Amino acid sequence: MKKILAIFISLILILGVVLAGFLLYQRISQLQPKPTEPEVFPNRLYFSEFKDRNDFKKWQIIDAESASNSPSDWQIVNEKLVQKSTIFKNEPFYQGTNLIFENGNDWSDYQVLFEFKPPTTGGVGFLVRYQDENNFYRIYLTCDKELGGPKISVDKIQNGNLKNLYQIQKCFQPNIENKIKIIINNNRINLYLNSDKITIYGQDKENLISKGSFGFMVNKMANVEFDNLEILDLSKNVKSGEGEVLSEKAAETEEEKLDEEIEKILKEIGID
């Protein structure tokens, strides 16, 4: 009788382990993330990590006429876009060298994301709705006192004349990577510098420049670096590369939930 009871108890334990294993398998199957198709970014106008030197062919270099220390020296070095010259021109306003994306003439409302690593001296500009050398908007940043720094300004250059739309006494962080987000929408231009720590705003109320490309401007600033440039169309429902990061975080969360569920089941069947 005792042997039969022992066998019966053993069978119950075995069935319990099998059932627990089956329940664990079912729970894991339910929690496993379903295969997803590769991310598609229909709103992306342009993206570059500057790994491919051929990508540089999509850009046009325009140095200011009669600029000092010319020519400019734009290169791709160690997967960074770099300008190595101290080219500059201070009249009628701070200029130097422009690097313009060639295929953005029809862009109107868009967002620009990138990183840049500037030295202490000189100035750097981000050009939006660039039509030609005499018509565009510019966000200009400098920490250099000789150039009126520290300041960040939003300027409108139209028919070769500069009009300031907004200015603030702030500066980037020299010699480290700064994160930039620019939004141009209708007549408004916003700059977000380093995780929204600094936000500046400019509004153009007359003779709006409605379309144009994006570009970089460097004034008396050698060895400034740019990287991870992404330009997004704001006329559509925007989905950027930032969505990839969110997807990764979501996947990590699912894995954490899976681990917690497994631990819970193992505790329920007496296995630590």
What is the distance between the alpha carbons of residues 6 and 34, in angstroms, rounded to a whole number? 44
Tell me: the pLDDT tens digits for 86-130? 999 988 889 999 999 999 999 999 999 999 999 988 999 999 999
**Is residue 254 within 8 Å of 33, Cβ to Cβ?**
yes
Position 244 scores a pLDDT of 33
CATH 3.50.7.10, domain 44-240, yes or no: no
The arithmetic mean of pLDDT across residues 15-31, rounded, is 62
Q: How far is CA 254 from CA 21, 213, 239, 250, in A?
A: 21, 40, 22, 6
Torsions phi, psi for 209 (to 5 deg) = -85, 110
What is the distance between the alpha carbons of residues 96 and 99, in angstroms, rounded to a whole number? 10
pTM over 0.85: no
Position 253 scores a pLDDT of 47
Position 123 scores a pLDDT of 94
The arithmetic mean of pLDDT across residues 247-265, rounded, is 46
Position 114 scores a pLDDT of 97
**Is residue 180 within 8 Å of 126, Cβ to Cβ?**
yes
Q: What share of the chain is helix, strand, coil (3-state, %, to 5)?
A: 25, 40, 35
- Please report where in the chains the tokens 């160690």 appear, as a residue: 78
The domain spans of the chain are 1-36, 44-240
- Please report where in the chains the tokens 């500066």 appear, as a residue: 171
Tell me: the pLDDT tens digits for 185-231? 999 999 999 976 677 888 888 889 999 999 999 999 999 999 999 99
What is the distance between the alpha carbons of residues 59 and 131, in angstroms, rounded to a whole number? 14
Max mean pLDDT among 9-18, 53-62, 136-145, 239-248 falls in 136-145
What is the distance between the alpha carbons of residues 259 and 272, in angstroms, rounded to a whole number? 13
Tokens of 104: 């953005």
Tell me: the pLDDT tens digits for 143-200? 999 888 899 999 999 999 999 999 999 989 899 999 999 999 999 999 999 976 677 8
Task: Give the H/E segment covering residue 2.
Answer: helix 2-31
